[in-house]
């Protein structure tokens, strides 16, 4: 592993432990040249499938892209990184083995997880995902949450 500070290729693992319900290994590393310490994560390679978008276009699934959209919804909310990682892992696990997945299925899985985690993040995500056209459609979704 290359040091982020001095770019030396000689680093040592100081500590290793399982994280994310055993889905990843967190490693603390130290550069043998400059002494800089940093953290890396080792996880199972992400599932390889194609996402079919609303317009029919196809693109490879990107965990990073999905994570970015989750963080936009969770901005300024009391949501921790480990909670977002759990959502990402659950969605990847649900979709494992698929060759093509409709983007609506992924969006519905995200909304289901966010609804359990944080109502405000859920509404933010739903407003973009469901393309609310006006305040009435927004209020209708808020009423559904209150029930």
DSSP string covering the chain, please?
A: ---TTT--S-EEEEEEEEEGGGTEEEEEEEETTT--EEEEEEEPPPP--EEE-TTS-EEE--HHHHHHHHHHHTTTSS--HHHHHHHHHHHHHHHTT-SEEEHHHHHHHHHHHHHHH-HHHHHHHHHHHTT--SHHHHHHHHHHHH-
pLDDT in tens, 1-41: 889 899 999 999 999 988 766 777 889 999 999 999 999 88
Please state the pTM of the whole predicted model: 0.65
Span 65-88, mean pLDDT? 93
């Amino acid at each position: 592993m290359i040091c982020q500070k001095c770019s030396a290729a000689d680093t040592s693992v100081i500590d290793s432990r399982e994280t994310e319900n055993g889905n990843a290994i967190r490693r603390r590393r130290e550069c043998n040249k400059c002494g800089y310490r940093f953290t890396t994560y080792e996880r199972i390679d992400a599932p390889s499938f194609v996402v079919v978008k609303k317009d029919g276009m196809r693109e490879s699934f990107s965990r990073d892209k999905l994570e970015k959209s989750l963080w936009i919804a969770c901005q300024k909310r009391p949501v921790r990184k480990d909670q977002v990682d759990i959502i990402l892992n659950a969605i990847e696990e649900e979709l494992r083995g698929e060759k093509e997945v409709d983007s609506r299925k992924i969006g519905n899985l995200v909304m289901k997880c966010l609804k359990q985690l944080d109502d405000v993040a859920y509404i933010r995500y739903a407003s973009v995902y469901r393309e609310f056209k006006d305040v009435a459609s927004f209020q209708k979704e808020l009423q559904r949450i209150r029930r």
